[in-house]
């Protein structure tokens, strides 16, 4: 049974940091690219960052480049999103997902198969 579980969200002041974690099971984690997405109320789901199966290749949306860092630990079946210098516009539900397609471009939700339930990030001004 495939499971993808995000954690680490919360309420933080602007300028603060959070570290999201996503732990997966039920599939060959180290064969899959992993993506982080976010969705704010009334907006489409946005691809924030992704990392290839080995962790050597990464992508960041322009809106988070220089502030967010994606990493993975294949031994722990876990992918992380370190978020620094958070802004109110980063407020959203954050989702983690797995894909057997790797591109060095914005991750497309339609190419990701296994999704978590999301973790809420709220940044106050």
pLDDT of residue 98: 97
Write the pLDDT tens digit of every residue in 67-120.
Answer: 999 999 999 999 999 999 999 999 999 999 999 999 888 899 999 999 999 999
Cα-atom radius of gyration of the chain, to the nearest Å? Answer: 13
DSSP conformation class of 56: S
Token pair 């591109």: residue = 103
pLDDT of residue 21: 98
pLDDT of residue 82: 98
Q: Which residues contact 18 (CB under 8 A, 6 or more apart)?
A: 8, 9, 10, 12, 83, 86, 121
Write the pLDDT tens digit of every residue in 19-53.
Answer: 999 999 999 999 999 999 999 999 999 999 999 99
DSSP conformation class of 16: -
pLDDT of residue 104: 86
For residue 98, the tally of other CB atoms under 10 A from its CB is 23
pLDDT of residue 103: 87
DSSP conformation class of 17: -
Question: Measuring CA to CA, which residue among 115, 123, 1 is closest to residue 47?
Answer: 115
Token pair 């294949």: residue = 74
Give Dmax (Cα) for the chain. Answer: 40
From CA 90, how far away is CA 53, in angstroms rounded?
26
């Amino acid at each position: 049974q495939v499971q993808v579980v995000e954690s680490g969200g919360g309420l933080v002041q602007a300028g603060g940091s959070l570290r999201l974690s996503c732990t997966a099971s039920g599939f060959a984690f180290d064969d899959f690219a992993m993506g982080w997405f976010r969705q704010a109320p009334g907006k489409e789901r946005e691809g924030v960052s992704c990392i290839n199966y080995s962790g050597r290749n990464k992508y960041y949306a322009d809106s988070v480049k220089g502030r967010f860092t994606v990493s993975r630990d294949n031994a722990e079946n876990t992918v992380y999103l370190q978020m620094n210098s958070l802004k109110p516009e980063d407020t959203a539900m954050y989702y983690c997902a797995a894909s057997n397609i790797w591109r060095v471009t914005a991750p497309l939700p339609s190419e990701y198969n296994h999704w978590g339930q999301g973790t809420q990030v709220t940044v106050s001004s």
